[in-house]
Amino acid sequence: MLKKPRLMVLGGLVLMAALLMLSWTQVWFKFKLNDGSTVEALGSDAVGSLAALALSVFALVAALSISTVNVRRVLGIVAAIVGIIIVVAWQSALADPVVASAAIISEATGISGTDSLHALVASTESTPWSVPAIGAGALIVLIGIAATITAHRWPVPTKKYDRDSTVIADDPASQWDAQSRGIDPTAR
């Protein structure tokens, strides 16, 4: 078992989200067109949603760090679902890179339409920068499952700032303490 599951989960999610953002900014595809020119498509061109998904993972880290046990379990499942969405988005981009990068190819050539773009592209080369995205997505799924399973082993939030609203009406010390805590002992 993990010795510090909270640290492993939160740290792992931050690292995977950062890796996803890095992959998103790099060249994923190089298209050689029939006229000999080359068009490069970044991860942001092929799968624009990856940045939003990475930001949602960062938000999950913040929420997981302050939540209760049951909420952590739900957020772990949400993290796993986000990881699955990342994997599916990656697969759809690699299944047809021309369609995934249609906007950047159309911008460079002035030609649009799926059939026209497929006819225009002579060859497609995938770079290794798309691989970290699938790795990050798969690990986010596993980390989300780990968060769900280990949620009960995380430290619980302290009750230091919780209000205690019980006031004993006849005890002056209790009334004085209630006033110190910001509770009106005369309110009923």
The pLDDT > 90 percentage for the chain reads 74
Q: What is the mean pLDDT of residues 14-36?
A: 96
Residues in CB range of 174: below 8 A, 6 or more apart: 167, 168, 185
Kindly tell me if the per-residue pLDDT of 167 is higher than 70. Answer: no
Picking from 153, 177, 157, 150, the residue whose alpha carbon sits closest to that of residue 165 is: 177
Kind of pairing between the strands at 27-33 and 38-42:
antiparallel
What average pLDDT score do residues 18-42 get? 95
Res. 121 pLDDT band, cuts 50 70 90: very high
pLDDT mean across residues, the chain: 89
> Which of residues 157 and 19 earns the better pLDDT score?
19
Burial environment of residue 110 by CB neighbours within 10 A (0 to 12, 13 to 18, 19 or more): exposed
pLDDT at 120 over 60: yes
Ramachandran sector of residue 128 (left: φ over 0; alpha: ψ -120 to 50; beta: rest): alpha
pTM reported for the whole predicted model = 0.80
* Helices and strands in the chain, H and E counts: 9, 3
Residue 164 confidence (pLDDT): 57
Q: Token pair of 111, please?
A: 């030609």
CA 61, 63, 65, 70 dihedral sign is negative
With contact defined as beta carbons under 8 Å apart, do 47 and 25 qualify? no
For residues 61-89, give the mean pLDDT. Answer: 95
